[in-house]
Chains A and B, each alone.
Chain A
Amino acid sequence: SQTIHQWPATLVQPVGSPLSLECTVEGTSNPNLYWYRQAAGRGLQLLFYSVGIGQISSEVPQNLSASRPQDRQFILSSKKLLLSDSGFYLCAWAYRGGETQYFGPGTRLLVL
C-alpha cells in the first residue's frame, strides 16, 4: 500500500530564517506530487506541483521554492521566511493522469 510522510509535524521559526519541509511517498512510482498551503484552517492554495524528477511548476509567485531530487521526494524551501509564510503545509500525491490526490498529515509552520 502507498503511504505519504511529511516532516517535521510542527515547526516554529524566526522571521528571516531558512526553511526546508520534506515529503516522501512509499509504495508507488512516478507519482505526481503537490505542495499546498492552508491558512487559518480554510482553503487549499496550490503552491507547486511536479510530474517528474526535476520538473517543478509554480502556481503562485512568492517566497518559496520546491525541488524534487528523487522520484518520491518533494521538498519545499525558503531562504528567508516571512510572517505571512505561517500556515499548514500539505503534501499530496496522485497517480500519473489520475485525479484523486492523497494527502500527507501536514506540517504546521509558525513564523515569529
Chain B
Amino acid sequence: GQQLNQSPQSMFIQEGEDVSMNCTSSSIFNTWLWYKQDPGEGPVLLIALYKAGELTSNGRLTAQFGITRKDSFLNISASIPSDVGIYFCAGPVTSYDKVIFGPGTSLSVIP
C-alpha cells in the first residue's frame, strides 16, 4: 500500500540555524500536506501544496511539491525555540476520505 517516509527521523539544532526535512513516497500524490505537532497537542496544518513544482511559504516556513510528485520538502529558516515539535507530511489516498501520514521528523532547538 501507499507509504510515506520522512527524513531525518530527528534533528537537534542550534537556535538560529536553518532546517531542512523531506518526505518521499513510492507512489504519486496530487496533494502534499505538512503538519506540526507541539508536545502534548494535536497536529496543526502548516502548508498545503496542490501542484507539482509548487513552492509555498508561510512565514519562516517554505515547502515544495516535488516535480516527480513523489516527494516534498519543508524548510524552516532561522529556527527559534517554539519550532520544537514533530513535523508530519501527509497525502490523501485515492478516495480523499483518508489521508496517510509519514512517521514524522522530531525537531529539537537548543537555545
Contacts and interface: CB of A to CB of B under 8 A. Distances in A.
Pairing of A with B: yes
A105 B41 contact: yes
Interface of A: 32, 41-44, 46, 49, 51, 90, 92, 94, 97-106, 108
Contacts of A98: 96
Contacts of A103: 42-44
Interface residues of B, number: 24
Given A100-B33, A103-B44, A106-B42, A42 B104 contact: yes
**A41, A44, A97, A98 — most chain B CB neighbours (10 Å):** A44
B111 interface: no
Contacts of A49: 97-98
B101 A99 contact: no
Contacts of B73: none
18 contacts: A32-B97, A42-B103, A42-B106, A43-B103, A46-B98, A49-B97, A51-B97, A94-B99, A97-B96, A99-B31, A99-B33, A99-B91, A99-B92, A100-B45, A101-B45, A103-B44, A104-B42, A106-B41
Contacts of A104: 42
Contact of B42 (A94, A97, A105): A105
A101 B99 contact: yes
Contacts of A105: 41-42
Given A100-B48, A108-B40, 9 more contacts: A42-B104, A44-B88, A44-B101, A49-B97, A51-B97, A98-B96, A101-B99, A106-B40, A106-B41
